[in-house]
Amino acid sequence: MSQKPQISRAEYPHYMSLPTRWMDNDIYGHVNNALYYAFFDTTINEYLIAEGASISPPALSWIAAESQCQYLRPLAFPE
């Protein structure tokens, strides 16, 4: 089995703290994988608002051209 790459937070130009909720956990005790993209969506919109973009109609349409996710470790409430 190959080792996962070591990625540091410094490699990303923008990030934000986003608390998990109890309801984010699945029956296995960790955050459901599908919710990671909801976290990304929240972070992207927070970034756009901070940069002065309007996200309310009739705002311009903002498109994330690409996204990807590497699951390096599980996340669970209350992390």
- Rounded to two decimals, the pTM is 0.70
User: What's phi and psi for 53, nearest 5 deg?
Assistant: -75, 145
pLDDT tens profile 50-78 = 888 877 776 666 677 787 887 778 889 98
Rounded Cα–Cα distance for residues 29 and 50 (Å): 33
Grouping H, G, I as helix, E, B as strand and the rest as coil, residue 61 is: coil
pLDDT band at 7 (very low <50, low <70, confident <90, very high): confident
pLDDT tens profile 9-44 = 888 888 888 899 999 999 999 999 889 889 988 888
